[in-house]
Chains A and B, each alone.
Chain A
Amino acid sequence: MAAVQDSAMAVGRGAQARPAAQGRFAALWTKHGAGYMFLLPWLVGFFGLTLGPAVASLYLSFTSFDLIRSPEWVGAANYVRIATADPKFAASLKVTFLYVVLSVPFKLAFALLVAILLNRGIKGLTVYRAIFYLPSLLGGSVAIAVLWRQLFAGDGLINSLLAQVGIEGPSWISHPDYSIWTLVVLSVWQFGSPMIIFLAGLRQIPTDMYEAASLDGASKFRQFYKITLPLLTPVIFFNAVVQTIEAFKAFTPAFIISGGTGGPINSTLFYTLYLYQEAFGNFRMGYASALAWILVLIIGLFTAFSFLTSRYWVHYDD
Chain B
Amino acid sequence: MTMRMTRRNVLAGGAALLSYSVLASSALSQEARLRLLWWGSQARADRTNKVNQLFQSANTNVAINGEFLGWSDYWPRLATQVAGRNAPDIIQMDYRYIVEYARRGALAPLNDYLGSVLKVDDFDQVQIEGGSVDGKLYGVSLGANSATMLVNVAAFEEAGIELPTPSTTWDDMARIGAEITKAGKRKGFFGLADGSGVEPLLENWLRQRGKALFTADGKIAYDANDAAEWFAMWAAMREAKACVPPDIQALDQFNVETSPLSLGKSATSYAHSNQLVAYQGINKDKLALSNHPLIGKGAKGGHYRKPSMFFSVSAQTKDPELGAKYVNFFVTDPKAAEILGVERGVPESKAVREGLAPTLDELGRAALDYVSGLGPLAGALPPPPPSGAGEAELALRTVAEQVGFGQLDVKQGGETLVNEVTQILSRG
> Cβ of A280 and Cβ of B76 under 8 Å apart?
yes
In the complex, how many angstroms separate the beta carbon of B317 from the nearest chain A beta carbon?
Answer: 15
Q: Which residue of B lies closest to A282 (CB)?
A: B391
How far apart are the CA atoms of A315 and B265 in the complex, in Å? 57
Q: Knowing A171-B250, A171-B251 touch, does A280 contact B75 (C-beta < 8 A)?
A: yes
Q: Knowing A174-B248, A263-B250 touch, does A67 contact B405 (C-beta < 8 A)?
A: no
> Cβ of B251 and Cβ of A153 under 8 Å apart?
yes
| A-contacting residues, B53-104, CB 8 Å | 72, 75-76, 79-80, 82-83, 101, 104
> Cβ of A154 and Cβ of B251 under 8 Å apart?
yes
What is the 8 Å Cβ interface bit string for chain A, positions 252-290, against chain B (1 contact, 0 not)?
000000111101111000000000000111110000000
| A-contacting residues, B247-265, CB 8 Å | 247-251, 253-255, 258, 265
Determine whether A203 belongs to the interface, using a CB cutoff of 8 Å to chain B: no
Give every chain B residue within 8 A of A261 (Cβ-Cβ). Answer: 253, 394, 397-398
> Cβ of B104 and Cβ of A280 under 8 Å apart?
no
> Cβ of A68 and Cβ of B76 under 8 Å apart?
no
In the complex, how many angstroms separate the beta carbon of B193 from the nearest chain A beta carbon?
Answer: 14
Give every chain B residue within 8 A of A174 (Cβ-Cβ). Answer: 247-251
In the complex, how many angstroms separate the beta carbon of A269 from the nearest chain B beta carbon?
Answer: 9
> Cβ of A67 and Cβ of B398 under 8 Å apart?
no
Which of B76, B104, B248, B398 makes the CB contact (< 8 A) with A266? B398
Give every chain B residue within 8 A of A176 (Cβ-Cβ). Answer: 401, 405, 407
In the complex, how many angstroms separate the beta carbon of A168 from the nearest chain B beta carbon?
Answer: 10
Determine whether A173 belongs to the interface, using a CB cutoff of 8 Å to chain B: yes
What is the 8 Å Cβ interface bit string for chain B, positions 263-279, against chain A (1 contact, 0 not)?
00100000000000000
> Cβ of B405 and Cβ of A280 under 8 Å apart?
no
Q: Which residue of A lies closest to B97 (CB)?
A: A283
> Cβ of A281 and Cβ of B390 under 8 Å apart?
yes
> Cβ of A282 and Cβ of B390 under 8 Å apart?
yes
> Cβ of A283 and Cβ of B79 under 8 Å apart?
yes
In the complex, how many angstroms separate the beta carbon of B98 from the nearest chain A beta carbon?
Answer: 13
Give every chain A residue within 8 A of B104 (Cβ-Cβ). Answer: 66, 68-69
> Cβ of B248 and Cβ of A259 under 8 Å apart?
no
Give every chain B residue within 8 A of A67 (Cβ-Cβ). Answer: 79-80, 82-83
> Cβ of A263 and Cβ of B83 under 8 Å apart?
no
Most buried by A among B101, B105, B394: B394
What is the 8 Å Cβ interface bit string for chain A, positions 44-76, against chain B (1 contact, 0 not)?
000000000000000000000011110000000
Give every chain B residue within 8 A of A280 (Cβ-Cβ). Answer: 75-76, 79-80
Determine whether A206 belongs to the interface, using a CB cutoff of 8 Å to chain B: no
> Cβ of A263 and Cβ of B397 under 8 Å apart?
yes
> Cβ of A265 and Cβ of B407 under 8 Å apart?
yes
How far apart are the CA atoms of A155 and B263 in the complex, in Å? 10
In the complex, how many angstroms separate the beta carbon of A235 from the nearest chain B beta carbon?
Answer: 29
Determine whether B283 belongs to the interface, using a CB cutoff of 8 Å to chain A: no
What is the 8 Å Cβ interface bit string for chain B, positions 386-415, against chain A (1 contact, 0 not)?
001011001001100110010100000000
Give every chain A residue within 8 A of B227 (Cβ-Cβ). Answer: none
Determine whether B106 belongs to the interface, using a CB cutoff of 8 Å to chain A: yes
Q: Which residue of B lies closest to A258 (CB)?
A: B253
What is the 8 Å Cβ interface bit string for chain A, positions 173-203, against chain B (1 contact, 0 not)?
1111000000000000000000000000000
Determine whether A300 belongs to the interface, using a CB cutoff of 8 Å to chain B: no
In the complex, how many angstroms separate the beta carbon of B232 from the nearest chain A beta carbon?
Answer: 19
Give every chain B residue within 8 A of A170 (Cβ-Cβ). Answer: 247
Which 9 pairs, one residue from A and one from B, show the smallest C-beta to C-beta distance?
A259-B253, A280-B76, A174-B250, A264-B250, A67-B83, A171-B247, A68-B104, A175-B247, A67-B79
A-B pairs with beta carbons under 8 Å apart, 25 shown: A67-B80, A68-B79, A68-B82, A68-B104, A69-B105, A154-B248, A171-B248, A171-B250, A173-B251, A174-B249, A175-B247, A258-B253, A261-B253, A261-B394, A261-B397, A263-B250, A263-B397, A264-B246, A264-B405, A265-B407, A266-B398, A279-B76, A281-B76, A281-B390, A282-B388
Q: Which residues of A contact B (CB under 8 A)?
A: 66-69, 153-155, 170-171, 173-176, 258-261, 263-266, 279-283
Q: A68-B106, A173-B251 are in contact. List 15 more A-B contacts (CB 8 A).
A: A68-B79, A68-B82, A153-B251, A155-B188, A171-B247, A175-B247, A176-B407, A259-B72, A259-B258, A263-B398, A265-B398, A265-B402, A280-B75, A280-B80, A282-B391
